[in-house]
Structure 1
């Protein structure tokens, strides 16, 4: 499992550990390969594992009266499920489902706890990472409360470009295929609103859309659209 060490170097949770620490924790991970549409865990289940994505895409969502609200999208190099490592018996706050065939490394709470006792630095990094994600959740709550639908859609596109953007000759490509409905689930609105706003941005030549991939042509002009 030494092949996971280079990946750990780039994960915020582990990147401050010494090389020998990374080599020590690497064998504690197990490999999990799953198909698109696989439910990794459900909201309300007891969580016992941290997931580290080697390849693929995973969405984290909750169901509100049968309506799906997507909280986050994770892909290569991201991790999720870290809250389960903090407390024994803690239940999952959301559901995790793969959006593509995925390969990931899984770390159980039991294995992590025994290693964490030897690495106070890892304990502090886990708390720091958890707080960062909590701040992100607070930002989402603020947007839902104070921003209109159009501004939320645009802000979500900008956030996705920061998380998954790739520079191309045409602009900043969001390297995750999203249907209008999936984008609506991220924003907390209906598909028709997303379609309308995307068409407006297309008409203004601020974005390009090709095969469900969105490219931002002018970041500054798009940011100015948030009111």
Structure 2
């Protein structure tokens, strides 16, 4: 089995394809290595297909008219992104940039569109992908509109804990390295404000800060402060 075919088989969307369909996707796709902090695509780039992240991590974001960065989502291995090309977008509306050294398989739009026509399960999978991304963005917009900087940051900590948290003797460590500027870009705030709020939470004993490292020491209390149940966390 070729490496690219193995990558494709790891993606939920392609797991139920017939062998000949999967082989066709492999033949018409290409993989590429990206260094850390490298653009995968930029706004106004041609939207000619979707991307499958194989290794590493990618952030999806946009820029305001004033040039302020907003991070919309983090993409993990096995996930597709750039899916707006499937509904007729000619140009990219957002940017994608690697957070870590990453391997990405680029799949032409026509391939996915053919699979959607041929396979109801692929069509359902793409529909679910759009739904989950929309739900994620709507939830983040709600936090931005109706919560304080502190509440937005606590909500983000809980969201990150659910996805990247691992229990340790000191608490729940976030296995994702984000700068204060990254956190600010996710919650629509400033780096200075995030630094102040993180300092307050550390003074209250709710978390510990290290170099690009965060340990949530009082996960339940943090969740209670924003009227949200504490997420379930896997052991380290």
TM bucket normalised to smaller: 0.7 to 0.9
Q: Provide the residue aligned with 2:157 in structure 1.
A: 157
Q: Provide the residue aligned with 2:115 in structure 1.
A: 115
| More moved, 106-115 vs 189-198 | 106-115
User: Equivalent residue of 2:163, what SS?
Assistant: helix
Q: Provide the residue aligned with 1:213 in structure 2.
A: 213
**CA distance, structure 2, for counterparts of residue 102 and residue 186 of structure 1:** 21
Q: Provide the residue aligned with 1:166 in structure 2.
A: 166
Q: Provide the residue aligned with 1:78 in structure 2.
A: 79
Is the CA contact (8 Å cut-off) linking 2:208 and 2:217 kept in structure 1? Answer: yes
**CA distance, structure 2, for counterparts of residue 167 and residue 51 of structure 1:** 32
- C-alpha change, 1:217 and 1:9, in structure 2 (3 Å) is farther
- C-alpha change, 1:14 and 1:197, in structure 2 (3 Å) is farther
**CA distance, structure 2, for counterparts of residue 77 and residue 210 of structure 1:** 29
User: Equivalent residue of 1:13, what SS?
Assistant: helix
User: Equivalent residue of 1:100, what SS?
Assistant: coil
1:8 positional shift: 4.7
| More moved, 45-54 vs 135-144 | 45-54
Q: Provide the residue aligned with 1:128 in structure 2.
A: 128
For structure 1, the 5+ residue unaligned runs are none
Q: Provide the residue aligned with 2:230 in structure 1.
A: none
Q: Does 1:48 align with 2:45?
A: no
1:163 positional shift: 2.2
TM-score calculated relative to the size of structure 2: 0.84
RMSD (CA atoms): 2.3
Is the CA contact (8 Å cut-off) linking 1:208 and 1:216 kept in structure 2? Answer: yes
Is the CA contact (8 Å cut-off) linking 1:8 and 1:22 kept in structure 2? Answer: no
**CA distance, structure 2, for counterparts of residue 11 and residue 193 of structure 1:** 38
1:27 positional shift: 4.2
Per-residue deviation, residues 8-37 of structure 1 (Å, max 9, x unmatched): 55544345x256477434444311101122
* Misfit runs of 4+, over 6 Å: none
User: Equivalent residue of 2:104, what SS?
Assistant: strand
TM-score calculated relative to the size of structure 1: 0.87
Mapping for residues 131-142 of structure 1, pairs under 5 Å: 131-142=131-142
Q: Provide the residue aligned with 1:195 in structure 2.
A: 195
User: Equivalent residue of 1:97, what SS?
Assistant: strand
For structure 2, the 5+ residue unaligned runs are 228-236
